[in-house]
Structure 1
Amino acid sequence: MTELHQGLVISHLGKGIAVEIDGNIILCQTRRKVETVAAGDSVKITIVAKDQGRIEELLPRHSLLERPNKGSKTRPVAANIDQIFVVFATEPFCDFLLIDQYLAICENRNINALLIYNKSDLATVDNIEQELANYQNLGYPLFRVSAIENAGINNLKQALLNKISIFSGQSGVGKSSLTNALIPDKELKTNTVSAITKHGRHTTTAATLYHLPEGGDLIDSPGVAIFGLAGLSENQLAHGYREFQEFIEHCKFNNCRHVKDKGCAVRSAVGDGSISSARYQRFLKLREKMSLD
């Protein structure tokens, strides 16, 4: 009987998949019956030649991030993530709609969400501080860091310990700078994986998992918004607004859309200030976005 080895998917490389077993990288193909794997997946493989294998089985996941694919289909981006750090900054600008979108997905995907305010050495403005206070009041941890000045990085390292994490956020907010600050030999590791798997540099466009020096793993994924609202229903979007949850069950109708519905407890809570009006307006925008996608 062929021996099965359990491994960790590190990245997609060209048509192959880099799987780590006991610190060694094996370039694998996948059996057709196995569904698409992603960085962070645990798999069982057979070794077919030196540094080459075949993925025979995908082990159960406790979380999955997906992005829209062709048509109405989705494609996995990363699996078994414990926490998503939503990175934002005052420059280029603070996209709170995108932040809310990430948070709504985390609420529905069994993934903890944390906020990173990068470039915190730059001047801030009052309305941003008010929004940040709203998020913290909802229980979202906030890390103020500056990758340039190496400020707040140690606190971030502590939060990353013993977990699989991923950074998300719009382009230009400093995700790469943060990743490089946390993984000083990132390029060396990338080149090593590429060399072992006989691929040149820059062939990796998919998410890649890196082991952090202090412990824990960080999945680095290129792209602006690596995952959209794919797979979420309108009800799930409302549930994704953490402060809505206690009011939803008090709406007059079970199929309340929280827009202009009679007896909507969510809208009443917005009216009396229990729910942030700005967050509610962004919820309405995301509902529109879902119907357009």
Structure 2
Amino acid sequence: MTKRKKLSQGQLRRVRSNQEKRLKKQDSHQWLDDQLGPQQEGTIISRFGQHADVEANNGEIFRCNMRRSVGSLVTGDEVVWRAGNEEQSGIRGVIEACHERRSVLTRPDFYDGIKAIAANIDQVVIVSAVLPEFSTSIVDRYLVAVEDVDLEPIILLNKVDLLDAEQRKIIEEQLKNYQQLGYKVIYASTKQAEGLDDLSQQLSNKTSIFVGQSGVGKSSLVNSLLPEQSIDTKEVSEVSGLGQHTTTTARLYHLVCGGRLIDSPGVREFQLWHLEKDRVAWGFIEFRPWLNQCRFRDCKHQGDPGCAMQEAIDSGKILQQRFDSYQRILETMENNKPSRVIPGKK
């Protein structure tokens, strides 16, 4: 894979300048105090550039401006806002404050630094599929990111109707390794309605988020759980074999089972260069008993004498495949990390 070209200092300055301009525009509609109603609680259900959709306690949705002092908001944030007495160019209120987040899922962005994806979530559903491709390496990357923020991960393999018996057996053997580690694995097909009851049960009375590559069928799964939403979906490109983006911004939905679900935009690549190496190792949960047990503190776990990790691999307590995946992640972190990270807005 071609290494991404790093930004020049001039490009970095332009990106930061554009970020500052966007912030200055956020409060373009000036609200006088007597034009606003009393403060009330609400939840961000979606974010659109300088605006955000707030769900009031009665379920009504208001598109609002954000005070500059609020900072960046993401889907799931709980906020204090005020409704305007009159609508101004489609804007119906203003967000004045954001409550402290109970949890936040983040990912690195080459241009914007560390970006929050969603807030106040309980579990992360890692959606993979046989198309565009099934990759345990991608699953491992997401698991590391979820473990780093101490959230519960669920692995979901979608589009299993495309597998014949032999192919399914092979993939089930791969996913059995995750089940033995204690991870919940769900096999799903929206066309054959397989696994949807199990999925609904897992989502019940929790705030969850779907994450995964473009084209794995996250929006199709939401449509199956909430058919009245009729979210746009696209097939995997026949030309490139890659998934096509259909969800462009994270959106929160209320489920019949009592839970809340956030559908997030798909990504072509999910990087981890924002994490320290020891946090990546921590994200492989079976490594934890062996961390800091090597003879040498700077052990690279690559044939070093007295390596506790290698002893665990030799004894079958750590799978070689998972250790190889860990090493690949470290390699790509170094290769893809920007020369200078732009501060993100969590």
The TM tier, using the shorter chain, reads 0.7 to 0.9
Name the counterpart of 2:141.
101
Check whether the contact 1:19–1:28 (CA below 8 A) recurs between aligned residues: yes
2:157–2:186 CA contact under 8 A, matched in 1: yes
Match of 1:13 in 2: 48
1:140 maps to 183
Partner Cα separation in structure 2 for residue 7 and residue 211 of structure 1: 14
Residue 29 of structure 1 deviates from its aligned partner by: 1.4
The letter for the 2-side match of 1:289 is: T
Match of 1:186 in 2: 229
CA contact (8 A) 2:271 2:333 kept: no
Q: Which residue of 1 aligns with 2:242?
A: none
Partner of residue 115, structure 2 = 75
Q: Does 1:285 align with 2:325?
A: no
Q: Are the aligned partners of 2:211 and 2:265 in contact in 1 as well (CA < 8 Å)?
A: no
Distance 1:227 1:164, change over 3 A: farther
Aligned position for 2:315: 272
Q: Who is 1:34 aligned against?
A: 70
Alignment partner of 2:156 out of 83, 91, 116: 116
> How far apart are residue 265 of structure 1 and its match?
1.1
Alignment of structure 1 residues 230-269 onto 2, 5 Å: 230-269=273-312
Q: Which amino acid aligns with 2:128?
A: F
Residues 1:249 and 1:170: Cα distance change in structure 2 (over 3 Å): same
Q: CA deviation at 1:208?
A: 0.7
Compare 248-257 and 57-66 and name the one that shifted more: 248-257
| 1:91 matched to 2:126 | no
Contact kept in structure 2, 1:87 and 1:115, CA below 8 Å: yes
| Cα separation, 2, equivalents of 1:14 and 1:33 | 16
Tell me how far apart the structure 1 counterparts of residues 224 and 126 of structure 2 sit (CA, whole Å): 17
Letter in 2 for 1:61: R
Conserved 8 A contact 2:80-2:98 = yes
Q: 1:226 to 1:167 in 2, by over 3 A?
A: farther
Could you say what secondary structure the match of 1:249 adopts?
coil
Structure 1 residue 223: Cα displacement: 2.0
Question: Residues of 1 paired with 2:316 and 2:216: CA distance?
Answer: 31
Q: 1:72 and 1:13 mapped to 2: Cα distance?
A: 16
Q: What letter corresponds to residue 205 of structure 2 in structure 1? A: N
Deviation at 1:117, TM superposition (A): 1.9
Unaligned stretches of 5+ residues in structure 2: 1-32, 232-245, 337-346
2:87 is equivalent to residue 53 of structure 1: no
Which runs of no fewer than 5 residues in structure 1 stay unpaired?
189-202
Answer yes or no: is 1:4 the counterpart of 2:44.
no
Name the structure 1 match of 2:106. Answer: 66
TM-score by length of 1: 0.87
Q: Which residue of 1 aligns with 2:203?
A: 160
Assess if the C-alpha contact under 8 Å between 1:65 and 1:227 holds in 2. Answer: no
Percentage identity across aligned positions? Answer: 39
Aligned partners of 1:66 and 1:230 also within 8 Å: no
Aligned residues between the structures: 281
Q: Aligned in 2, Cα 1:7/1:116: closer, same or farther, shift over 3 Å?
A: same
Distance 1:170 1:72, change over 3 A: closer
Decide whether aligned partners of structure 1 residues 272 and 98 sit closer, same or farther in structure 2, where only a CA change above 3 A counts: same
Displacement of 1:216 after TM fit? 0.8
Q: Give the letter for the 1:48 counterpart.
A: G
Task: Give the SS at the match of 1:4.
Answer: strand
Partner of 1:149: 192
For residue 3 of structure 1, give the secondary structure of its aligned residue in structure 2. strand
Indicate the SS of the match to 1:224.
coil
- Indicate how the Cα distance of structure 1 residues 28 and 262 shifts in structure 2: closer, same or farther if over 3 A, else same: farther
Helix, strand or coil at the partner of 1:10: strand
Pick which of 115-124 and 159-168 moved more: 115-124
Q: Does structure 2 conserve the Cα–Cα contact (< 8 Å) formed by 1:38 and 1:79? A: yes
Distance 1:69 1:138 in 2: 30
User: C-alpha separation between the residues in 2 aligned to 1:58 and 1:131?
Assistant: 42
List per-residue Cα deviations over 1:240-286 (Å, max 9, x = no partner): 00110111132223444434443221122112221111111111000
Quote how far apart the aligned CAs of 1:169 are: 2.0
> Is contact 1:211–1:217 with CA below 8 Å preserved after alignment?
yes
User: Which protein shows a greater Rg?
Assistant: 2
Aligned-pair distance for 1:158? 0.8
**Structure 1 residues 266 and 204, CA, compared in 2 at 3 Å: closer, same or farther?**
closer
TM-score (norm 2): 0.75
